Amino acid sequence: MDGKRRERGGERELHNYRLELVFEKKIPGLRVSEALRRREYVMRSRHFHSSIELNFLIEGTRFFFVDPESYCMRAGTAMLIDHDRIHKTSLAEGYPPDHRNFILQLEREPFDGLLRQFGYPGFDEFGRIYSGACGFSREEWALILGIIAQFKSACDQMIGEELCPFLFLQAMELLGIFARARSRGISESYQGGRETGNGAREAGPDFASSADRLDSGVHQRVREIALYLQNHSAEKQELQEIAAHFYMSRSYLSRIFRKVTGFSVVEYLNFVRVRKAQEILKGSRMRITEISESTGFGNITYFERVFRSLSGQSPAQYRRGEAQK
């Protein structure tokens, strides 16, 4: 069913994303949207994309999983999610489901060049360095809300060739505010500042809100499982063996892992293996059959099928494309 789905037993309603959009604009290289949700919303599973995502939470409280960490995000905070990074947002337990967020999806072209022009590292390096959660000063947050208002106003009033450059500049201004605040938070974490983990600043009199890393309970267990799978992805292990390693049942491990990440254990493991295969394809001349074996797939047919389903191309096509860059 494309629209609303009802589950009578739990009084749960999952809505069509399009019905909750307050604002949306797409131009080549950039998609900007604002969504307001007054009921429970669960992001679709198996979620990752080639763009960098900058997600500002304007209202409400949400749980975010950004592989392999989990966060509790509050209004007045933001999350930058690197490209090709598994992520999921879900209902924060103990909080109402109401929330509003403003999201920028930034593509490699034109933002690799724009970032360099503004003195930042390129697309890949920027995503790697600044990925994570961030809180803002009250002045910064007021500026962010003003830029968001300008975004929407410009899309109503400006047309043609003048609109795209303006939106790119506004996006760069938001990236700049985020990068400064994120750098400040990371720096203070090394200096013994009031940090809540991974550069997420505690709320205080000068700060609009806080973003807390969730490092206990089921979220910590899922983090440990994800890191274990990353570090042992080349090994051929059954789900029962993985569950035994963490002293839990197979069904419980599967349930909590999918709930937090949106992936089954097998889907996540395949994703990790494909990422490692991509690195080998880019940096070596190893035969594809050997890569299949070394990354844990073993069966070349299965490897090529999974690789194509996640990347949209065969291993050989991926290698040729990378060689031409």
Count of other CB atoms within 10 angstroms of residue 25: 16
> pTM to 2 decimals?
0.82
Q: What is the pLDDT of residues 54-105, one digit of tens each?
A: 999 999 999 999 999 999 999 999 999 999 999 988 888 888 888 999 999 9
Q: What is the pLDDT of residues 274-304, one digit of tens each?
A: 999 999 999 899 999 999 999 999 889 999 9
State the pLDDT at residue 11.
35
Query: pLDDT per residue over 145-163, tens digit each?
Result: 999 999 999 988 887 778 9
Identity at 235, one-letter amino acid code: E
pLDDT band at residue 43 using 50, 70 and 90 as cut-offs? low
Is the backbone peptide bond immediately before 110 cis, with ω within 30 degrees of 0? yes
Mean pLDDT of 22-34: 93
Q: What tokens were used for 129? A: 């360095």
pLDDT bin (cut points 50, 70, 90) of residue 15 is very low
CA 322 to centroid of chain Cα atoms: 24
Q: Which domains does the chain have, with CATH numbers?
A: 5-213 (2.60.120.280), 217-323 (1.10.10.60)
d(CA 110, CA 164): 11
Q: What is the pLDDT of residue 42?
A: 59
For residue 270, give every residue at least 6 positions away whose Cβ sits within 8 Å of its Cβ, in sequence order, or none: 306, 310
